[in-house]
Amino acid sequence: MKNLLKAIWCILLLFVVLSSPVKGQSREVRLSGSAPEYSKMSIVFEYYQNFLNYEQKELITVKIDEKGNFDFTFPLDKTIYAFSDLGRFRGFLYLEPGHDYELELPPFEPLTQSEKLNPFYQPEEILLGIQNQNSQSLNPLIRDFNQAFDYQFNTNALKILTTKNQKLVSEIIDSLEIRFPQEQDFFKAHKHFKYARLAMLASRNMEKEIIEKYFSNRPVRFSLPAYWDAFKDVFSGYERKILKRFVNSDSLSLQSFISTIKADTLINRQDLAEAVAVFSLYRSYHEKIISEKLTLRLLKELKERASIKETGNIAGSIYSKITALRPGSSAPEFTLYNFEGEQKSLKDYQGKFVYLNFCHTNNYACQRDLRLLPKLHETFKRDLQIVTIMVNDNYEEAKEFIEAHKSLEWDFLFFGMNANIIKDYNVRAVPLYYLIDPEGKLVLSPAASPAENFHDRFIQKYREYKRELQRKNRQEGQSIFGP
């Protein structure tokens, strides 16, 4: 009997273990609600792939039905900061694995065309309403804590900075801990790194005091915004101390670079050392501490060989961003619809040069160039494909313009409110032009307009491409015994 009970107990224990969620394991998150103003819209929720260059990644697209209702479920393996651009508002919230969010969306106020095309436009950030959560849930906790913290910070920052009054810092932290004693892991870490920014004001030796107390013995929190706010404050300028000895050297290896960082007893954790490495390279590129060539090589090596997956992702993101749109780099892919309803992708044009341009029918410079492009099209149509992407917000308006101008015989695509292509091609104003070679590589980035002697520039680049192609073919056809 005792053995039978013991066996039953073991089975029950095993069942509990197997059915319990494992840390880092994906669990379902549910987003639901009713928002009649958003009827038939698709809302894209995104997150930051990292908090250094803030590369955005799509999390989920929520389709709202004709009555304004939505109910979507998706897997999530860690708590993240998610957001969605909703016209003039950017609604955000922290999403936790295994949680259900009944959302209340803000009133919809659409952006104007100029606001859509302005890369510096910043929507107003608001915390999305969550109807089925209480004051002890993560989002209200962070909101209330941030309000209390910001009040104390703004009220006392100057005094703390000038007097280095560490006692006052401790009193503020103690008072906030009394009001917000919750020990939930994500919220506890959020508080910790908020306190780090306060403690910096009173620190006389930031490396010794702040790094040791707030960073040295803690894992890097890749998905926690508060971590990176504090991290960037603490480690800004650190790259000069690390890299100044390598200013005149292009032979620095990634291993030596990481070892140099870890030689500092305050940064002996591998994840922290790699985070400092990628941040230092990111800042070095902009501050030009070491050569651009060396910075890019180390970023690429870190992308490929980082022992921490998240660090490799950050290095890859920064490397891609830095090298994007450079002559010789791959032109960003896209898939858009033309005005006959057919899908067109950049790869559909491979084998020819592509003169890619962005236009708006109400823009005078665009109208002028569209009068010049037919001659270019007729002259070079055997070797050059003109592709015009219309960035009008009104599809019918753009279509009517094209139908009214029969001489425009090349491919016209509609950007369809696709913010990614605007971002990928850095469209800050129109008209904007790029020349892409038959293999999908950028040749002129940006390229001259039809009114700026593009004709001659294209002939030059076409000849250079053909010469290089002939040179490669000759090399491939060579034998060790001679031609």
What's the predicted TM-score (pTM) here?
A: 0.76
Q: Which of 323, 344, 363, 332 is nearest to 434 (CA)?
A: 332
Residue-averaged pLDDT of the chain: 89
pLDDT of 15 > 50? The answer is no
Q: Among 12-16, 398-402, 440-444, where is mean pLDDT lowest? A: 12-16
Q: What is the pLDDT of residue 287?
A: 87
pLDDT of 481 > 80? The answer is no
Integer angstrom CA distances of residue 161 from 167, 191, 209, 213, 407? 13, 20, 15, 19, 67
pLDDT: is 247 or 69 the higher one? 69
pLDDT of 4 > 70? The answer is no
CB 96 within 8 A of CB 103: no
CB 190 within 8 A of CB 224: yes
Q: What is the pLDDT of residue 138?
A: 97
Q: What is the mean pLDDT of residues 400-404?
A: 93
CA dist 466 and 483 (Å) reads: 21
The model's confidence at residue 14, banded by pLDDT at 50, 70 and 90, is: very low
Q: What does residue 107 show for φ and ψ, rounded to 5 degrees?
A: -55, 140
Q: Among 110-124, 232-246, 351-365, where is mean pLDDT lowest? A: 110-124
Taking the CA atoms of residue 164, residue 167, residue 169 and residue 171 in that order, the dihedral angle to the nearest 10 degrees is -160
Q: What is the pLDDT of residue 21?
A: 45
The model's confidence at residue 120, banded by pLDDT at 50, 70 and 90, is: low
CA dist 134 and 143 (Å) reads: 12
CB 202 within 8 A of CB 166: yes
pLDDT: is 21 or 215 the higher one? 215
Q: What is the mean pLDDT of residues 286-297?
A: 90
The model's confidence at residue 428, banded by pLDDT at 50, 70 and 90, is: confident
Q: What is the mean pLDDT of residues 223-228?
A: 97
Helix (H, G, I), strand (E, B) or coil at 293: helix
CA angle 392, 393, 397 (to 5 degrees): 65
Q: Return all residues near 168 (Cβ < 8 A) that are at least 6 apart.
A: 156, 159, 160, 202
pLDDT of 302 > 50? The answer is yes
pLDDT of 234 > 80? The answer is yes
Q: What is the mean pLDDT of residues 38-42?
A: 91
pLDDT: is 370 or 14 the higher one? 370
Q: Among 239-243, 301-305, 306-310, 461-465, where is mean pLDDT lowest? A: 239-243
Q: Among 320-324, 339-343, 351-355, 417-421, where is mean pLDDT lowest? A: 417-421
pLDDT of 121 > 90? The answer is no
Q: Which of 334, 422, 423, 335 is nearest to 53 (CA)?
A: 423
- Percentage of the chain beyond pLDDT 90 is 73
